[in-house]
Structure 1
């Protein structure tokens, strides 16, 4: 699954690509420093060293800018692993989620984007596409596990991947409990065990 930016055609090496990259980097920096409430298009333009008119014309609102940040993050996401073991693949997935959510920059960005998605349909749609892309990517490791006979036929691969990340996002957004590799490994083991028991069979 691919995501296409709604904010201009991106030509590798072209001016449009350079402007978009600079603006998105600046927007991410501003979000990390000031949060959603402090995000301002004029400030982003200043940081990116591009004209305000360019930023307002292409993104129009701060939520539009956040939506494009999500598109960019999906485009840059790390490919899934293929270790030949469901346990190892799910562990890699969980550890990647934890690494992202605890990163000073990426974690702050996700919190700001999730907050924006609660009040803006365009950002919510971009967030949903982002996670659909990542789940689709990692579902392949469950499909491979089915072919190897590790989990039953009819197992829903998307539900298994959702089960890995759900408790991690709960800690980030709801409980505030620690997020580390041991928590990631526990989430992965729980999802793999449930999958082998047929919990996620359609």
Structure 2
């Protein structure tokens, strides 16, 4: 009886295509098996490449996971420019919820907030993720200040932190669903605090003057 040769991984191409396939496979493995069950061999098989291809680019499992996380968060949340701070914050909120609740987002949460989160490399990736999100909030807040929607001295980091806090709390602590009402409340609270000067830059800036209601 003729023996069957082992199945070969499907070919995915070279360069960027290989990197994209390995990143996608890494996040899928995280979702299916968690960080503890993730292996380079399983990632390679899922991506359709040989494991030596993976090891040539990433020295170990930690490097692979960190790179996949960094790549995902580099583009997962857009920097909106709708002409209104309220609608900009709504898009930021929607992007945040989508990034945390979709299949890829769930895999990322597994890596960032499970046992893997204690690894220095994963902790560093988590810090880069939030630094990138704060950076994306800067032009949104700057444009709102220029339009007179927010007071001078409003801190973009404080704005994004205030906006994201109730969403993270529900998803990561209480396990409650995040619905449109939750997002609306987060936006109202954030705007009220910013317009009252409560989200001003803490160091190096005078407290922001509360914004007057144009109807008063």
More helix by share: 1
How many pairs does the alignment contain? 189
Structure 1, gaps ≥5 residues long: 1-13
Matched, 1:155 2:144: no
Cα root mean square deviation, aligned:
1.8
1:10 equivalent in structure 2: none
Q: CA deviation at 1:104?
A: 3.1
TM-score w.r.t. the length of structure 1 is: 0.85
Contact 1:91–1:189, Cα closer than 8 Å, also in 2: no
Alignment of 1:32-181 (within 5 A): 32-115=31-114, 118-181=117-180
CA distance, structure 1, for counterparts of residue 160 and residue 138 of structure 2: 6
Whether contact under 8 Å (1:98, 1:181) holds in the other structure is no
Which ranges of structure 2 fall in alignment gaps of 5 or more residues?
Answer: 1-12, 202-216
CA deviation string 1:37-90 (max 9, x = no partner): 211111111111222122234223222111101221133334221122211111
Cα deviations across residues 68-117 of structure 1 (Å, max 9, x unaligned)?
01221133334221122211111211122112222133223223233255
1:168·1:184 contact (CA, 8 Å) conserved in 2? yes
Tell me which structure has the larger Cα radius of gyration: 2
Relative contact order, higher structure (CA 8 A, sep 6+): 1
Deviations 1:145-198 (A, max 9, x none): 111222211111121012111221111111112212221121111111100010
* Bigger mean CA deviation after superposition, 76-85 or 21-30: 76-85
